[in-house]
Structure 1
Amino acid sequence: MKVDYFIVGLGLAGVAFCEQLRKANKSLLVFDNNSQQASLVAAGMYNPVILKRFTEVWMAKEQLALAQPYYKELERLLNVKLDYKLKLYRRFASIEEQNIWFTASDKPNLEPYLSTTLVPNKSPQIDAPYNLGEVFEAGRVDTTVLISNYRTYLKSHSQIVTDGFQYEALQIEAETLQYKNHEANHIVFCEGFGLKQNPFFNYLPVNGTKGEVLTINVPGLKIDYAIKSSVFIMPNSDEDYYVGATYSRFDKTNNPTEDGKAELSSKLKTFLKAPFEVVSHKAGVRPTVNDRRPLVGTHASHKNLHVLNGLGSRGVMISPYAAKQLFNFIENKQPLNPEIAIGRYTI
């Protein structure tokens, strides 16, 4: 079987690159064995502001401009609901935080995203004596529904192999790639933290950061918006809510931990006054990079080997942008944004 592209990995990066190929009428074959869980356990929230420091997400405007129509197109393709517009409020812990917020909202790049009107807390079960600040252009993508339905879509078109990829079986020639009984012109590795095992790109500095999230049941809370404080709480369905997330640089497993559960519960109790029950607890290792930029580009010696990785905790927003950058780099010889190009690191 001969295709234009092999793609290894079907997280948010892999789906986004598949979509670039589909729209360009390029043939593809995906290899994925569900080994990387970061995209599946992500709560899927997106917003253009880093709410810990009240700073703009890198290239937020450009990312949102691509992401919004991208998810609409995926909803049409898969016939499912994916993108849920969601009010997002930052809980203020002090008057000082309010002042920092208002100072940030005066900056030209943040003005479109930060409301200058304080929102009073109307829920008796939320402790927010200093009120809330609203973030515009926020929402949630149901990443579990996205990836499971996209796998089904690929299966229906015989475009996915659900085995682990064996690097030693890849035969590299100048103009073609051979993998078992398959042949392709290019291969794109979208493996998340699994890139550490990749002999072609394992020199790249992917520092896995484990994240744990809870689903909790809170009878009677009845909030239809997300709140970000020391952790976030976000509506899921009925009386269930997502709570997250932890950041661990040392544990590189996908196993939920009691420490992670205790940390999330403890932080949540600082502002949620209602009793809650933990319904589920999940974990995954995000592919993070120290400079907080994706890893996008082509191997220095093999011009048909490419990488799309390092999306970190903002994969929902940045994946369409990064995938388009790589596609245009390979197919149209357009230069990559130097901030995401892997040329910033050497073998």
Structure 2
Amino acid sequence: MKNVDYIVVGSGLAGIMFCDVLMQHNKTFVVVDDGSQKSSMVAGGLYNPVVLKRFTPVWKSKEQLELALPRYKALEKQLDVQLDYKIPVYRLFASIEEQNNWFLASDKAGLSEYIKPEIHHIKNTSIKNDFGFGKVLHTGRIDTTALINAFKNELRNNHQLIENPFDYNAVSSNQDIVNYNNIEAKHIVFAEGFGLKQNPFFNHLPLKGTKGELLTINAPKLNIDFVLKSGAFLIPLQNDNYIVGATYEWEDKTNNITETAKNELLEKLKAFINCDFEVVNQVAGMRPTVIDRRPLVGQHDTNKHLFVLNGLGTRGVMIAPYVAKQLFEYIENGIEVDSEINISRFNN
């Protein structure tokens, strides 16, 4: 029988950042994950404090970034891998009205430190940019694939990773402890992403799930070193490769790539670039999205050893460290979880 403080189910962004908190506080844990959930692996990984469709601030963006960026820096050192790529985000304006809305937004509370009342003009014949660009400050990209692969390798080396499906029927508990197969723990934290739909303890929660697909293109003549947002995001990689994304599909709950999504992204892309390119890859994953666009964090109603950390949606790299800390502080110190993300909001 193995004894640990925590069993963490899932090794996407939510699970990894909760493990990061556990390591900071010298807690013992094991992770159970079968690799079935792909959303963190196919994420664009942007951290951007501005909703660029409406020019509004992201929920608690300042608190999230102040917590998240030092943690990713620490993980870079711990895992000996580059994760944080500082890169500006430019919003391509489609009209004078959008320019005016940008100027108005720059005076709003929560936005003034991230956007300035300036229009940038970039000479690039591969981009249709008659109305210029707005630049977002304090942005970048976390390489989520590198993070997950490196973190899971460390777990394997430390014999902390069980690479099997989680067997919910093997969970039993008494007043002091929860048992899972040959493991005794104080707590189980479920951070399974869309896999939560199969979880009998928490599948009553309104996790909708939104399928997202991304393309990778090779475009030697595009020649940009910033993230470009228009009808789609265009994220530069290396060797003239760029991520194009993402789609939002509410009905299809599979991880299969589709021709429909590919055509949708290509149509959006061709609306704002006019150079030749080649599609070199396409990936799909289910984002764990919630009806009110807030995460799911909290404790099971009757089994007090069981907790959920889920629903990170489309901004996982920003919000994961924030919600991980919220849950840890609740479990260990009794500090109430923010009411906007606490699963108790769905009790009524």
- Asked if TM exceeds 0.5, the reply is yes
Question: Which amino acid in structure 1 is aligned with residue 225 of structure 2?
Answer: D
1:334 paired with 2:313, answer no
- Deviation of the 1:278 alpha carbon: 0.6
TM-score (norm 1): 0.99
Percent identity at matched positions? 54
Which residue pairs with 1:181 in the alignment?
182
1:173 & 1:62 partners in 2: Cα distance? 37
- Deviation of the 1:18 alpha carbon: 0.1
Alignment of 1:98-247 (within 5 A): 98-247=99-248
Which residue pairs with 2:78 in the alignment?
77
- Deviation of the 1:335 alpha carbon: 1.0
Secondary structure in 2 matching 1:312: coil
Q: Report if aligned partners of 2:103, 2:118 keep a CA contact under 8 Å in 1.
A: no
Which residue pairs with 1:27 in the alignment?
28
1:121 & 1:271 partners in 2: Cα distance? 14
Question: Which amino acid in structure 1 is aligned with residue 117 of structure 2?
Answer: T
- Deviation of the 1:243 alpha carbon: 0.4
- Deviation of the 1:108 alpha carbon: 2.3
Question: Which amino acid in structure 1 is aligned with residue 313 of structure 2?
Answer: G
Question: Which amino acid in structure 2 is aligned with residue 199 of structure 1?
Answer: P
Secondary structure in 2 matching 1:207: coil
Alignment of 1:198-347 (within 5 A): 198-346=199-347
- Deviation of the 1:179 alpha carbon: 1.1
1:106 & 1:301 partners in 2: Cα distance? 47
1:252 & 1:98 partners in 2: Cα distance? 37
Secondary structure in 2 matching 1:99: helix
Question: Which amino acid in structure 2 is aligned with residue 77 of structure 1?
Answer: Q
Greater mean alpha carbon deviation, residues 310-319 or residues 213-222: 213-222
Divergent runs of 4+, >3 A:
none
Structure 1 unaligned segments of length 5 or more: list them.
none
Alpha-carbon displacement from aligned partner over 1:64-111 (angstroms, at most 9, x marks no partner) = 000110100110110000000001000001000111111111112100
Between the two proteins, the alignment pairs up a number of residues equal to 347
1:174 & 1:65 partners in 2: Cα distance? 38
Secondary structure in 2 matching 1:237: coil
Which residue pairs with 1:36 in the alignment?
37
Q: Report if aligned partners of 1:88, 1:135 keep a CA contact under 8 Å in 2.
A: yes
Question: Which amino acid in structure 2 is aligned with residue 340 of structure 1?
Answer: I
- Deviation of the 1:346 alpha carbon: 2.0
Which residue pairs with 1:91 in the alignment?
92
1:329 & 1:262 partners in 2: Cα distance? 45
Q: Report if aligned partners of 1:174, 1:302 keep a CA contact under 8 Å in 2.
A: no
2:130 & 2:338 partners in 1: Cα distance? 43
Question: Which amino acid in structure 2 is aligned with residue 93 of structure 1?
Answer: A
Secondary structure in 1 matching 2:215: strand
- Deviation of the 1:117 alpha carbon: 1.4
Which residue pairs with 2:49 in the alignment?
48
- Deviation of the 1:221 alpha carbon: 1.7
Q: Report if aligned partners of 1:125, 1:272 keep a CA contact under 8 Å in 2.
A: yes
Question: Which amino acid in structure 2 is aligned with residue 158 of structure 1?
Answer: H
- Deviation of the 1:321 alpha carbon: 0.2
Secondary structure in 2 matching 1:149: helix
2:151 & 2:23 partners in 1: Cα distance? 12
Q: Report if aligned partners of 1:9, 1:32 keep a CA contact under 8 Å in 2.
A: yes
1:185 & 1:82 partners in 2: Cα distance? 32
1:4 & 1:344 partners in 2: Cα distance? 27
1:231 & 1:85 partners in 2: Cα distance? 20
